[in-house]
Amino acid sequence: MKKYKIQNAPFVVPTTDGKVIEEHFGNATDGNSQISIAHMIAPTGWSEPFQTPEFDEYTYIIKGKKQFIIEGETIILDAGQSIKINKNTRVQYSNPFTIACEYIAICTPAFSMDLVNREDQ
């Protein structure tokens, strides 16, 4: 039995907002509820509703910029920067900038719609 797994076919999450989400490991890809690792591209003008996730989320920006509103404080990250947002923290993610934002997101436990707690828009 192999002690490793190479991911060649991430699960592409269907979206309606132009965002590209490729989950490499996590609930949707391999049933792992402990961690999710996803590669994402957020188009210009993209945003999500405020949410209070029941997981820690780590974000590493590869290209572009990403805006976070965390408990009322606006933070903008550039390529090469990363952030950890603790679970049970109210946050909104967006890309109000003129170029797409490419980033990696890691959630512990894994991302789940049951744990994200998005507010009504």
Structure tokens at 23: 């989950």
**Mean per-residue pLDDT for 5-20?**
95
Element (H, E) at 106: strand 101-108
Structure tokens at 40: 């994402």
Q: What is the pTM of this model?
A: 0.94
Mean pLDDT of the chain: 97
Give the three-class secondary structure for 28: helix
- Predicted local distance difference test score (pLDDT) of residue 121: 59
Taking only the tens place, the pLDDT of each residue in 51-65 is 999 999 999 999 999
Would you kindly state where each structural domain of the chain is located, as residue ranges? 18-116
Q: How far apart are CA 102 and CA 48, in angstroms?
A: 16
Residue 59, phi then psi, degrees to nearest 5: -130, 130
Fold held by 18-116? Jelly Rolls (2.60.120)
